[in-house]
Structure 1
Amino acid sequence: MKRKTLAQVVMVPMCAFLLSLPVQAADKVSIRALGGFTKQIQSTLVEQPFFEELATKHSDRLDVQFRTMDELGQKGFQALRQLKAGVFDIMEMQLGYISGEDAFFQGVDLVGVAPDVETARKVADAYREEFDSRLQKKFNGKLLAIWPYGDQVFWFKEKINGLDDFQGKKIRVFSRPMAEFVKHFGATGVSMAFPEVYTSLQRGVIDGAVTGALAGNTASWYEVANYLYPMPVGFSIQVHVANLDFWNKLDQQTRDLLTAEFQAMEDKLWQIGAEATQDGINCNTGVGDCKYGKPGNMTLISVSQEDRQRMKEAVEQAVLPEWVESATKTDEKAAAIWNETAGAAAGVTISGK
Structure 2
Amino acid sequence: MKLKKIFGGALTACVMSYSAYAEELTPRSLTYVGSWSGLLNFKAYENPFWKERIAKSSDGKWDVSITTFDQMGLNGSELFRMLSKGTFSVATTDVAYILSSAPELGGSNLPMLIADQEMAEDVMDVYRDTLDNILFERFAGAKLLGTSHFPQQGLFCRDELTGMSDLEGRKIRATGRSVAQFLDAIGAEGVTISFAEVPGALQRGTIDCAFTGTLSGYQAGWYEVADYLYPLPVAGWDFIITAMNGAEWEALSPEEQQWLLAEVRDHYEDQAWNGAADAYEDGITCLTGMGICEDGAAANMTLVEVTDEDVQAARKIAIEQILPKWASTVDAETVASWNETIGKVTGVNITEE
TM-score, scaled to structure 2:
0.88
Shift of 1:86: 1.2
Alpha-carbon spacing, 1:55–1:312, altered in 2? closer, same or farther (3 Å): closer
Which residues of 2 match residues 141-290 of structure 1 at below 5 A? 141-233=142-234, 234-264=236-266, 265-290=268-293
In structure 1, the partner of 2:319 is 316
Shift of 1:56: 3.2
Aligned residue for 1:333, secondary structure, equals helix
Aligned residue for 1:154, secondary structure, equals strand
- Corresponding letter in the other structure for 1:263: R
Shift of 1:59: 4.5
Which residues of 2 match residues 35-114 of structure 1 at below 5 A? 35-57=34-56, 58-114=58-114
Shift of 1:54: 3.1
In 1, Cα distance between equivalents of 2:351 and 2:293? 42
1:173-207 deviation line (CA, Å, top 9, x unaligned): 12111011111111111122222212212222111
Q: CA RMSD in A?
A: 1.6
- Corresponding letter in the other structure for 1:44: K
1:224-243 deviation line (CA, Å, top 9, x unaligned): 11100010120000001000
Shift of 1:256: 2.0
Alpha-carbon spacing, 1:291–1:108, altered in 2? closer, same or farther (3 Å): farther
In structure 2, the partner of 1:333 is 333
1:19-43 deviation line (CA, Å, top 9, x unaligned): xxxxxxx952111100111221221
- Corresponding letter in the other structure for 2:301: M
Aligned residue for 1:269, secondary structure, equals helix
Moved more, 254-263 or 235-244: 254-263
Moved more, 85-94 or 186-195: 186-195
User: What percent identity do the matched residue pairs reach?
Assistant: 36
In structure 2, the partner of 1:12 is none
Q: How many residues align?
A: 325
- Corresponding letter in the other structure for 2:320: Q
Conservation of the 8 A alpha-carbon contact between 2:55 and 2:61 = no
Alpha-carbon spacing, 1:292–1:318, altered in 2? closer, same or farther (3 Å): farther
Moved more, 198-207 or 122-131: 198-207
Conservation of the 8 A alpha-carbon contact between 2:69 and 2:79 = no
- Corresponding letter in the other structure for 2:61: R
Shift of 1:145: 0.6
Moved over 3 A (4+): 291-294
In structure 2, the partner of 1:126 is 126
Conservation of the 8 A alpha-carbon contact between 1:171 and 1:208 = yes
Moved more, 315-324 or 288-297: 288-297
Aligned residue for 2:29, secondary structure, equals strand
Structure 1 position 307 matched with structure 2 position 310: yes
Shift of 1:154: 0.7
In structure 1, the partner of 2:344 is 344
Aligned residue for 2:328, secondary structure, equals helix
Structure 1 residue runs of 5 or longer lacking an equivalent are 1-25
